[in-house]
Structure 1
């Protein structure tokens, strides 16, 4: 059984999610030790434990160590089974843990299952340290469609920290294989867009976020189409702003969340600043998208190349996990912009598999 050090690199839940997701796809047993060892609350927290149990459910896995605060697990998947599933991140302790991270962990294997899947996921849809559902639908999934992943997410109810209770429905239709991605130098000027959202708060907050973002972007002689959304269906209050840059050979997203005491203008600045830095870098994708795409690109039949503003510790950590589960090499050039090259079947330390890499 392959054993991975869960404290490696970024040292958070990334090792756990990526390793178990690939393990289910490959039907390969793994054990993970020292899970989140350096975090203030080490071990499996509710959102991580939900990922473990969800991946076990779709693979009929034998699992040891799946308990709150556990620092070590063993995971032996036996099958890969599409179907209808419901998972609630807050079922154990009322957590507002991220449904986006849960969805991404399930998507990788279920996109290669024999049958389609419909997922209902309950928890936090707009929470810190994870992509918002707006980012998933507006950035992550559109790029995956470019490489052959057929999945759609519908936001049923927003869930903010600490109330949680958000809900999404995801439909995943398996395909025959994945295509490589070669996004190095974007062509032409970017199209800038966004969505400014408030739940259970005055819509004027979302308007102020929008106006500040437009003013900042306008200083660069750029324009953006930013929608304003007011929502009373969430269980608790919250605000967010997502800004995207799209065009031939590029897609990136930058999200900021409001909190008590933080002015709407500061929320806007927190999204605009990385957007402008990204545009200055000349990169094709944002740093977060780079690490989210990497496991999918490792399964394509041909090499992939993409550029991002920098090589994050998350990206290095995902590459480390991928190279231990697949015969794939990932190389980095610091740039600028940073360049990521993914070479499948490159004789890396991961063992060869019989996984069909045929492009659809």
Structure 2
């Protein structure tokens, strides 16, 4: 039984999600206390509870204290089972974070699987579906995994109602990779999404992106969704390099000007491009787990975040890998090395 303190490091939900994924794969039970202790509303929120329930269903786990608001739980996994799964968060909580908990585990099932999650698809503090499809999904593909992610319906806070699905095929041995150089830029574009809101909001956002990044009209895409998928707004900027794809996002909020939303995501892009790293701050958190499952790996990252350090510490509790970070002038290096037992 692995004992985990959910208040360690950045003290967020990633500690729980990583533990669930690796517990399913390794068959190792765990107990976690002080869940999300460093958040404004500590304990399990609805999206975290659904991740626990989904993981339990996928592997037939025994779970104690799985309820909204719980600050501790115990998870005893069974065997991962292939299947056609459907989970509903019931709020605008992040569907993508639930999917990220399940996808690596379902690669270890004996047959193909599908998962449909209903809830939020474009949330603050969570990766949007396009990030899973193009950034995270590309890394998994490079490692030999076959995962297909489909955005069926958008869901914004507070209405939710979005739908995203993933299909997986068995892949019990991920290939080891190194993401060191971005390579040449193959394409770059911005997408401003509005649902149930004036299209002029997206037009203003795209105008600012174009001016700040010096992009042409062909790189600026307006996506006006049906009213029943809103209200909501998001700006996504995608950079597709030879070696890696990055997706940066800002979510519109009430009483926040369109220019401020677009300016926030442009600042992230400029910050990333000002480094020589292959992997941005958020993708770094996500590629670490599949690389650890592969037994070793290496990547250059934009910066060493507390989130990444905490995730590395949790991973090393479940898997025989040593994860180290080294900061240089304009990027950092993360190395994952196998540890002899």
**Residue number in structure 1 paired with 2:120:** 124
Do the aligned residues in 2 keep the contact of 1:165 with 1:234 (CA within 8 Å)? no
- Equivalent of residue 290 in structure 2, options 291, 296, 299: 296
Q: CA deviation at 1:118?
A: 0.9
Give the secondary structure class of the aligned counterpart of 1:71. Answer: coil
Do the aligned residues in 2 keep the contact of 1:253 with 1:286 (CA within 8 Å)? no
Q: CA deviation at 1:191?
A: 3.0
Q: CA RMSD in A?
A: 1.6
User: How far apart are the structure 2 equivalents of 1:234 and 1:11?
Assistant: 36
Give TM-score, length-normalised by structure 1: 0.91
**Residue number in structure 1 paired with 2:272:** 278
User: How far apart are the structure 2 equivalents of 1:170 and 1:97?
Assistant: 17
Q: Decide which moves more: 276-285 or 131-140.
A: 131-140
Q: CA deviation at 1:181?
A: 2.0
* TM superposition outliers: structure 1 runs of 4+ over 4 Å: 221-224
**Residue number in structure 2 paired with 1:59:** 59
- Equivalent of residue 151 in structure 1, options 147, 154, 162: 147
Cα distance, 1:142–1:279 mapped onto 2, change above 3 Å: same
**Residue number in structure 1 paired with 2:187:** 191
- Equivalent of residue 322 in structure 1, options 299, 315, 339: 315
Q: 5 Å matches for 1:333-344?
A: 333-335=326-328, 336-343=330-337
Give TM-score, length-normalised by structure 2: 0.95
Do the aligned residues in 1 keep the contact of 2:135 with 2:244 (CA within 8 Å)? no
**Residue number in structure 1 paired with 2:27:** 27
User: How far apart are the structure 1 equivalents of 2:157 and 2:32?
Assistant: 28
Q: 5 Å matches for 1:1-360?
A: 1-90=1-90, 95-189=91-185, 191-218=187-214, 225-232=219-226, 234-301=228-295, 303-335=296-328, 336-343=330-337, 345-347=338-340
> What count of residue pairs does the alignment treat as equivalent?
340
Q: Decide which moves more: 184-193 or 10-19.
A: 184-193
Do the aligned residues in 2 keep the contact of 1:332 with 1:338 (CA within 8 Å)? yes
User: How far apart are the structure 2 equivalents of 1:234 and 1:241?
Assistant: 19
Spell out, residue by residue over 1:253-303, the C-alpha distance to the aligned partner (whole angstroms, 9 max, x if none). 2100111222222211111111011111011011100111111000114x3
Q: CA deviation at 1:185?
A: 2.6
Q: CA deviation at 1:177?
A: 1.7
Q: CA deviation at 1:19?
A: 0.5
Unaligned runs of 5+ residues in structure 1 are 353-360
